Amino acid sequence: MKKVLALSVLTAAMASATASAATTTKTEAPAPAKAQQQATTDIHANDYQWMNLKLMRNQNNKPGSGKDTYGELEFGGQSGALDFYGYADLLDILNDSKSTAHDGQDSVFVKLLPRLSIDKLTGKDLSVGPIKEWFLFGLINAQSTTWNNYYGLGVNLDVPGMDVFKINTGFRQVRKDQFTPAAEGWNGYYVGGNWFKKFAEQKNGNYFDFHGYFDYDFGQSDFSNNYSFAILNGMSYNMGKWFVAVDFKYYNNVYNIKDNATGWGQYYTIGYKF
């Protein structure tokens, strides 16, 4: 009952925080009546998928001052009521003895984020204010030493100036933590989100984009710190199938670690779009 109450409070706070936002963006015109009818009757009308292969370099990764060159396969899309995103990282891909991941126990990290549209499942438009669509979500962050699951409610928000703005809020389940086994089980709450804006498109089709995300875990017990926060913002330059990106990430007691887990890190990326 306490978890249900906490989720209700979190969802109400999220809606209140965004209540002053405009209800339409400049990048989306209202759909014609025929298109609106099709969207309600055929939930697969707007299906899409995408996948990127990336070579990434991080510097000053927290905790500590981590640095590594790694490969990432990133994917996402929409199929009917299912909205999905995920990636798999192969750490120390260059087998570099100077990498802080070189002798680590973890060589692969996987993130999976499926979301089910409540609007599409019920066949009803549940939009209210800046909230365009409601979702049930599950999030998995997993590697060999740690595994965290998250469950709760998500929304797509209509935020002026943004093409995409998504928020998820719910409960955290520590399925496995080799370093702090006492923390395993239902342990705390979570709020996270991501955003994207395409801009400065050129005549040849090349364009820039602004992107970012944040993750906030709080209310945890048995860790050295009861919260963990990280936020990333960056820009990409997209050239047909290829893109390059620079990202800056701020960590605050990341992974619920108190010592040497706060500060700035950088990411540099070259990627290919399938």
> Is residue 187 assigned to a domain?
yes
> Is residue 20 assigned to a domain?
yes
> Which pairing describes strands 82-90 and 66-79: parallel, antiparallel, or unpaired?
antiparallel
CATH number at residue 226: 2.40.230.20
Q: Flag residues of the chain having pLDDT under 50.
A: 1-39
> Is residue 87 assigned to a domain?
no
pLDDT for res 132: 98
> Is residue 17 assigned to a domain?
yes
> Is residue 56 assigned to a domain?
no
pLDDT for res 227: 97
Residue 165 lies in domain: 2-47+95-239+249-262
Q: What is the CA radius of gyration of the chain?
A: 20
pLDDT for res 4: 38
Can you tell me the distance from the alpha carbon of 112 to that of 84, in angstroms, rounded to the nearest whole number? 8
> Is residue 8 assigned to a domain?
yes
pTM for this entry = 0.83
* Number of domains, the chain: 1
> Is residue 257 assigned to a domain?
yes
Do residues 156 and 165 make contact, with C-beta atoms less than 8 angstroms apart? yes
Rounded alpha-carbon distances, angstroms, from residue 37 to 21, 24, 123, 158: 26, 19, 11, 21
> Is residue 53 assigned to a domain?
no
**Both structure tokens of 101:** 């991941």
